[in-house]
A and B are shown apart, each in its own frame.
Chain A
Amino acid sequence: MTTVAVGLAALLAVVCVVAVALPFLREPEALDDRLDAPDELERRRLELAEERDRVLADLKELEFDHRTGKVSDDDYRALVGPLRSRAASALRALEPRAEAGNLPRSAAMSEPFPAPSPEPSPSPDVPQPPTLPDPVPPPEPFPSPDEGEPPPQPSIPGPGSSG
């Protein structure tokens, strides 16, 4: 019995050592052994991406809450303007980096901006050129704030194109 046990134990040890040494066995001479860590640029991009997702999710949720009646018209009017501006700046902040880093445009970026519920157009309390474009028609059936869908992102007119 003992010999079998010792044999199995030795086998286990060998397997484990191999597993641990595997990366070195696969790449005895690695060109790039650097562990990826976000540098300043990447950290900023992450921060901005999170901010963008956060704001867009907030917008969707605000729309939904307004539709279900949780948020009154007055509250909605007060909140949606600043949120939209924040969304615009968050998206704009990401764009130049996207172009600089050759990020592939995600498919989500081509979806039109969610249609707002009918209400008087908010007065631009934060005048910021360029402001958000009018919602692209047609207003499609608006799904509820959805963690399962990528937040739709408007096509921001780039600098130089007509606002």
Chain B
Amino acid sequence: MARQSPVRLVFAVSIAAVLAVFLLYVSVAGGTPSLQPSQLKNRTGKVALVGKVVTPYRRTAGKQEHRFRLRDVKGSATVPVVYRDSVPDQFKPGREVRLEGRLQNGVFVGKPGTLVTKCPSKYQAEKRA
């Protein structure tokens, strides 16, 4: 290695190693598609659903089970959702939420622990009613 600097070699090998590890992981684990209700259609795999909570919203007394409908953020398509875990305090009709789960028999069954609400917008004026 008289003339050639080992630095370049180290760089190249490291980049290659990183890429290899990375591609291996991504192909194995994959990401989760973020869909809105209108895009759900016949998707049966595990996806993340994003939408606005709309009424009717029912919580089964005594249990941690919530049934509501999610609507496209800017649209009208809705889908019924059932979520069997506690919901964050910000959760209520009108809030935008994201949860993971899968569509089963026309109802989106949420995976416990994956529901997050979007913080009410920080940079948008909150107009008083």
A and B touching (Cβ–Cβ under 8 A): no
